[in-house]
Amino acid sequence: MPVVSRLAPTPSGFLHLGNAVNFTLTWLLTRRAGGTLHLRIDDLDRARFRPAYLDNIFRTLEWLGLDYDQGPSGPAEFERYYSQQQRLAEYEAALQAARTAHPTLFYACRCSRTELARAAAPGGHYSGTCQTLGLPFEASGLAWRARVPPTTAIIWPDLAQGPQLVALAEELGDFVVRKKDGMAAYQVASVLDDQRLGVNFIVRGQDLRASTAAQLWLAEVLPGQAGFTRTQFLHHNLLLDAAGQKLSKSTQTSQQRGILAEGAAPQVVYRAVATLLGLPVGAGESLATLRAALPEQNSL
């Protein structure tokens, strides 16, 4: 089956080195396979959306020299044709259909993630169930959560890490599928969007293993999404900062404006990718040298 992958940035902050490395690695592996690459921007979280963040996505991809086969050419085209805001009805219909097919699958509650954690078993995992069960789904200001059985284990053969097993109830607990504002949550929209685009190869950092498990679980219950379970996943190692913490947009100070503002050349990204791939240092001088140095089969 031809490879179909995607770049899936969120316009909720300026893109950092870790984002740039993930995009370059996704591009490299998809191009090596002769596959199709989509640009799929996740803008469900409009509270943190800023036009500057959206513009930064396109400028960062241009700076890296990364092309893609399908998707918006710039911010205006994205807002007009590709925004997730235009598919809210589709996400809602999928949630309602899943709720009809599986009446006990979701429940409505007002609990926060912190409150659920307090009800969790010892160990600090986000398991546990909301104590305010039985609330009406139609009431405003309530989130919908997936009722994850305590013994749920999600297994998949990861292309970089080997066989993976995630105890979903321990890692995420009863995760949100519909937010308090009435919109679908990230996990639901991501599955539906990837299936709509025909994506069958996803490159992510290891910090998103729990999200992968949640999405594989959801694909079994959301109507028409079973094909997602045949997706191949590659979870690469994370890049850490000087303090040993993972790079994240959420940890950037107000003065930090992402990797573009650092004034570095894109070679800093290419060399980081070469390191992840176990390639010689010289392979990170350009995209061309990366492609030339990448073997037909590799292990991350």
Per residue in 118-161, pLDDT tens?
A: 665 554 444 455 656 678 999 989 999 999 999 999 999 999 99
- C-alpha pair distances (Å), 112 with each of 27, 117, 159, 174, 269: 37, 9, 34, 11, 37
Of the two residues 21 and 298, the one the predictor is more confident about is 21
Q: Has residue 76 got a pLDDT over 90? A: yes
Query: H or E stretch including 77?
Result: helix 75-77
Report the alpha-carbon distance of residue 261 to residue 15 in Å, rounded: 10
Tell me the pTM.
0.90
The gap between the terminal CA atoms of the chain, to the nearest Å, is 22
pLDDT at 89 over 70: yes
CA 177 to each of CA 62, 74, 157, 268: distance values in angstroms, whole numbers, following the listed order: 34, 29, 25, 37
> Is the confidence at residue 239, as pLDDT, over 60?
yes
Q: What integer pLDDT is reported at residue 112 of this predicted model?
A: 77
